[in-house]
Chain A
Amino acid sequence: MSSTVLITILSLSILGLIAALILYFVAQKFKVFEDPKINEVEVALPAANCGGCGFPGCRNFAEALVKAENFDGLYCPVGGADTMANVAQILGKTAPEVEPRVAVVRCNGTPEFRARTSIYEGAPNCTIVHNLYSGETNCAYGCLGLGECVDACEFDAMYMDKVTDLPVIIDDKCVACGACVRACPKDIIELRKKAKRDRQIHVACVNKDKGGPAVKACKVACIGCGKCEEVCNFEAITIENNLAFIDSDKCTLCRKCVVVCPTNAIHEINFPPRKPKVEIKPQNAEA
Chain B
Amino acid sequence: MLKTFPKGGVHPSENKITAGTAIEVLPLPKQVIIPLSQHIGAPAKPVVAKGDKVKTGQVIASSQGFVSANIHSSVSGKVLKIDKAINSSGYKQVSVIINVEDDEWLDTIDRTGKLKTEIVLTGEEIVKKCAENGIVGMGGATFPTHIKLTVPPGKKCDVLIINGVECEPYLTSDHRIMIEKGREMLTGTRILMKALGVSKGMIGIESNKPDAIAHLNSIASGFEGITVHPLKVKYPQGGEKQLIKALTNREVPSGKLPVDVGAVVHNVGTAYAVYEAVQLNKPLIERVVTVTGKDIEKPGNMLVRIGTPLRSVVDAAGGVPENTGKIVNGGPMMGKAINSLDVPVTKGTSGVILFSVDESKRKATNPCIRCGKCVSVCPLGLEPYLLMTLTEKEFYDRVEKEKVMDCIECGSCSYICPADRPLLDYIRLGKSETGKRIRERKQK
A125 CB–B CB distance under 8 Å: yes
Q: Is the CB of A134 within 8 A of B91?
A: yes
Query: Chain B interface secondary structure, helix, strand, loop or mixed?
Result: mixed
The docked-state distance in angstroms from the alpha carbon of A133 to that of B84 is 16
Inter-chain contact A133/B339, CB cutoff 8 Å:
yes
In contact, B429 and A125 (Cβ under 8 angstroms): yes
Q: Mark A112-147, 1 if CB is under 8 A from B, else 0.
A: 000001100111010110011111001010000000
Q: With an 8 A cutoff between CB atoms, is A229 at the interface? A: no
Structural contact, B339 and A134, CB atoms closer than 8 A? yes
Task: State the CA gap A3–B380 with chains docked (Å).
Answer: 72
- Cβ contact within 8 Å between A140 and B91: yes
Please give the number of chain B residues whose Cβ is less than 8 angstroms from any Cβ of chain A in the complex: 20
Contact with A along B417-433 (1 / 0, CB 8 A): 00000100110110011
Complex interface residues of chain B between 393 and 444 (CB less than 8 A to chain A): 422, 425-426, 428-429, 432-433
Let me know if B339 and A131 touch, CB within 8 A.
no
| Chain A residues with CB under 8 A of B422 | 122-123
Cα separation A140 to B433 with both chains bound (whole Å) = 21
Among the listed A122, A133, A135, which residue makes an inter-chain contact with B425, where contact means beta carbons less than 8 Å apart? A122
Across-interface contacts of B429 in A (CB, < 8 A): 123, 125, 127-128, 131
Give Cα A138–Cα B92 distance, bound, in whole angstroms.
11
Q: A134 contacts which chain B residues (CB < 8 A)? A: 86, 89-91, 339
* B208 sits at the interface (CB 8 A): no
Most chain A CB inside 10 Å of its own CB: which residue of B91, B336, B339, B361: B339
Cβ-neighbour of B91 out of A117, A118, A127, A133 (below 8 A): A133
Quick one: given A122-B425, A123-B425, are A133 and B336 in contact (CB under 8 Å)? Answer: yes
A131 touches B432 (CB 8 A): yes
The residues in B between 38 and 95 inclusive whose CB is less than 8 angstroms from any CB of A are: 84, 86, 89-92
Q: Is B356 an interface residue (CB 8 A)?
A: no
Closest B residue by C-beta to A136: B339
Taking the closest CB of chain A, its distance from the CB of B394, in whole angstroms, is: 10
Cα A121 to Cα B86 in complex, Å, equals 21
Contact assessment for B92 and A209 in the assembled complex, using a CB-CB cutoff below 8 Å? yes
Q: Write the chain B residue with the least CB distance to A134.
A: B90
Contact A122 B92 (CB under 8 A): no
Contact partner of B340 among A117, A122, A132, A135, CB < 8 A?
A: A117
A117 touches B362 (CB 8 A): no
**Hey, which chain A residues are within 8 Å of B361, CB to CB?**
121
Contacts of B90 in A (CB 8 A): 133-135, 138, 140
Q: Give chain A residues whose Cβ lies under 8 Å from the Cβ of B337.
A: 118, 133
Number of A-B contacts (CB under 8 A): 47
- Minimal Cβ-Cβ distance residue in B for A135: B90
B92 touches A140 (CB 8 A): yes
Q: How far is the CB of B329 from chain A (nearest CB, A)?
A: 11
Contact residues in A for B365 (Cβ distance below 8 Å): 123
Q: A117-B340, A134-B339 are in contact. Are A128 and B428 (CB under 8 A)?
A: yes
The answer to whether B339 touches A117 (Cβ under 8 A) is: yes
What is the CA–CA distance of A121 and B359 in the complex, to the nearest angstrom? 13
Which residues 304-329 of B have a CB within 8 angstroms of A? none
CB <8 Å contact, A121 and B89: no
Residues of B within 8 A of A135 (CB): 90
Chain A residue numbers with a CB within 8 Å of B433 are: 127
Report B-chain residues with C-beta under 8 Å of the C-beta of A127: 429, 433
Q: Which B residues lie within 8 Å of A122 (CB)?
A: 362, 422, 425
Q: Which of B86, B91, B336, B426 contacts A128 (CB 8 A)?
A: B426
| Nearest CB on B from A208, distance (A) | 9
Q: Digit string of B355-379 for contact with A (CB within 8 Å is 1, else 0)?
A: 0000001100100000000000000
Interface string of B327-346 (1 = CB under 8 A from A): 00000000011011000000
B-chain residues with CB within 8 Å of residue A121 when the two chains form the complex: 361-362
B339: nearest residue on chain A (CB-CB)?
A118
Query: Which single member of B89, B92, B362 contacts A132 (CB below 8 Å)?
Result: B89
CA distance A122 to B337 in the complex (A): 11
Q: Is the CB of A128 within 8 A of B89?
A: no
B405: shortest Cβ distance to chain A, in Å? 16
Which residue of A has the minimal Cβ distance to B423? A123
A133 to B339, CA, bound (A): 9
For residue B372, give the distance in angstroms from its CB to the closest CB of chain A. 21
Q: How far is the CA of A128 from the CA of B89 in the complex (A)?
A: 13
Smallest CB gap from B364: residue in A = A121
CA distance A131 to B365 in the complex (A): 21
Docked Cα-Cα span, A125 to B429, in Å, equals 10
**How far in angstroms is the closest Cβ of chain B from A158?**
18
Q: Which residue of A lies closest to B363 (CB)?
A: A121
Tell me, rounded to whole Å, the shortest Cβ–Cβ distance linking B396 to chain A: 12
Q: How far is the CA of A125 from the CA of B421 in the complex (A)?
A: 13
Chain A hits for B362, CB < 8 A: 121-122
CA distance A68 to B429 in the complex (A): 37
Closest chain A CB from B216 CB (angstroms): 37
A126 to chain B, nearest CB (A): 10
Rounded to whole angstroms, the CA-CA distance of A128 and B433 in the bound complex is 11
Contact with B along A43-68 (1 / 0, CB 8 A): 00000000000000000000000000
Report A96 CB to chain B, min CB distance, Å.
30
Q: B89 is contacted by which of A123, A133, A138 (Cβ under 8 Å)?
A: A133
- Please, which residue of chain A has its CB at the minimum distance from the CB of B388? A123
CB nearest to B431 among chain A residues? A131
Closest to A131 in B: B432
Q: Which of A93-126 contact B (CB under 8 A)?
A: 117-118, 121-123, 125
22 A-B residue pairings within 8 Å (CB atoms): A117-B339, A122-B362, A123-B365, A123-B422, A127-B429, A127-B433, A128-B425, A128-B426, A128-B428, A128-B429, A131-B429, A132-B336, A133-B91, A133-B337, A133-B339, A134-B90, A134-B91, A134-B339, A140-B90, A140-B92, A209-B84, A209-B92
Q: Which residues of B contact A (CB under 8 A)?
A: 84, 86, 89-92, 336-337, 339-340, 361-362, 365, 422, 425-426, 428-429, 432-433
Known: A122-B362, A125-B429, A132-B336. 5 other contacts (CB 8 A): A123-B365, A127-B429, A131-B429, A133-B89, A133-B90
Q: Across chains A and B, which 10 residue pairs bring their CB atoms closest together, nearest first?
A: A134-B90, A123-B422, A118-B339, A123-B425, A121-B362, A133-B89, A133-B90, A122-B425, A128-B429, A128-B425
